[in-house]
């Protein structure tokens, strides 16, 4: 039934009752007519008179709804009458709340309000000229009935005919990430904002300590044995013993602005063949190569990259990332970029991921949540995690070899 915003508050009193899933999360978000009109005026770049058709779809929000205060992501779309006639419209709203599980600490990697502050600050208007971009921003909605909530309204990126993650598209995205990081390494000024994160590598290594100290207990669980083999347990211990010196080396690297969660499910390809980053909730500074570490390891972790091509994937996208760095005028050695990447990947995924994921999947309905988030059977996920563990530890050993070679 078409909804006229002149008559009703969209999802306020009816026409739709609120709907909830089995954990009490809303399937429908609420927005009032004035806010919707304001967003559509900006999106359509014309004056909107009336919404005559309204729909909303809940998009797959990943683990953002478990972390960082996430309330979900929704696509709102329909038809509106404007001063230039009827027009189809489409926008995306993403919610966060101080009442959810995200941190209140400004520099914490999971600070709940960071993405809201990022869009409000205008930081995306001052990004360097490159092919890694953010969606257009239309405003922030704060519901009167839930003032602790913040809803970001952004562009709905048209990915029609260009949304598959072929190796060619992955390679192009890696090059675009290199352009983005490289611009800052080549002299584009880093923003000085108190709420920028420092990424996840050091934070996740720190939170991993209780888990790694208790790995023997976790290894009594049968499905964990499918993830962690005995040889890899020994390699985890060896890498763990070197963590402080390796983190110190990483900390000495030049820093750039990083998305910090740029993997396949947080990247889109627009009509200009640019790579569009969404979910900027971990935005902050990071070292050379750190962005690529997330791109490679988390894309593998979410089973978006087949393990059969993982080694080739690693080599191809690293070369593309390095080319992107050079495209911006950054002058540096290839080994430097490789060391930053391999160190970041091994510490983040080879160590930090254990501390993050093991407690979650062994607690209550953790297995079910993980399967739902990644959208794969749990057994298949454990197989992939096992491969990824070995792969990440291999990268750690490669990093140590690079360090030794440079010290000769």
Tokens of 342: 């391999």
> Residue 369 half-sphere exposure, CB side, CA atoms within 13 Å?
19
Question: pLDDT at position 25, please?
Answer: 43
Domain-by-domain residue ranges, the chain?
33-155, 167-407
Q: Residue 28 has what pLDDT?
A: 57
For the chain, which residues score pLDDT lower than 50? 1-27, 68
pLDDT of 6 reads 34
Fold of 167-407: Aminoglycoside 3'-phosphotransferase; Chain: A, domain 2 (3.90.1200)
> What pTM value is reported for the model?
0.91
Confidence at residue 84, expressed as pLDDT on a 0 to 100 scale: 93
**Cα separation, 254 vs 238, whole angstroms:** 27
Q: What pLDDT, in 10s, does the model give residues 229-256?
A: 999 999 999 999 999 999 999 999 999 9
């Amino acid at each position: 039934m078409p909804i006229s915003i002149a008559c009703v508050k969209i999802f306020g009193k009816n026409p739709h009752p609120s709907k909830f899933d089995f954990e009490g999360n809303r399937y429908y978000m609420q927005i009032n007519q004035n806010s919707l009109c304001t967003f559509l005026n900006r999106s359509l770049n014309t004056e909107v008179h009336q919404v005559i058709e309204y729909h909303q779809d809940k998009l797959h929000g990943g683990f953002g709804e478990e972390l960082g205060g996430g309330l979900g992501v929704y696509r709102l779309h329909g038809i509106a009458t404007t001063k230039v006639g009827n027009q189809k419209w489409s926008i995306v709203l993403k919610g966060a709340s101080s009442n959810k599980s995200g941190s209140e600490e400004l520099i914490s990697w999971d600070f709940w309000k960071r993405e809201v502050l990022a869009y409000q600050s205008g930081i995306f208007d001052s990004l360097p000229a490159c092919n890694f971009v953010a969606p257009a921003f239309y405003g922030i909605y704060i519901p009167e009935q839930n003032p602790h909530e913040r809803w970001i309204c952004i562009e709905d990126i048209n990915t029609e005919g260009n949304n598959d993650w072929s190796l060619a598209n992955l390679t192009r995205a890696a090059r675009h990430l290199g352009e983005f990081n490289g611009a800052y390494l080549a002299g584009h000024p880093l923003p000085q904002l108190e709420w920028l994160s420092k990424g996840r590598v050091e934070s996740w290594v720190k939170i991993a300590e209780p888990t790694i100290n208790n790995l023997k207990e976790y290894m009594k669980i049968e499905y964990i044995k499918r993830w962690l083999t005995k040889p890899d347990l020994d390699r985890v211990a060896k890498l763990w013993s070197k963590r402080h010196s390796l983190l110190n080396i990483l900390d000495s690297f030049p820093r750039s602005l990083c998305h910090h969660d740029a993997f396949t499910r947080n990247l889109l390809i627009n009509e200009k063949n640019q790579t569009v980053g969404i979910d900027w909730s971990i935005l902050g500074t990071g070292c050379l190569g750190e962005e690529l570490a997330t791109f490679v390891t988390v894309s593998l972790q979410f089973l978006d990259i087949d393990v059969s091509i993982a080694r080739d994937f690693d080599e191809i996208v690293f070369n593309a990332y390095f080319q992107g760095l050079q495209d911006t005028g950054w002058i540096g050695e290839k080994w430097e970029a490789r060391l930053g990447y391999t160190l970041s990947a091994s510490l983040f995924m080879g160590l930090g991921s254990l501390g993050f994921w093991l407690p979650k999947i062994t607690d209550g309905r953790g297995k079910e949540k993980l399967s739902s988030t990644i959208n794969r059977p749990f057994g298949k996920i454990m197989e992939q995690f096992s491969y990824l563990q070995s792969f990440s530890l291999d990268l750690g050993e490669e990093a140590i070899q690079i360090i030794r070679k440079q010290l000769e």
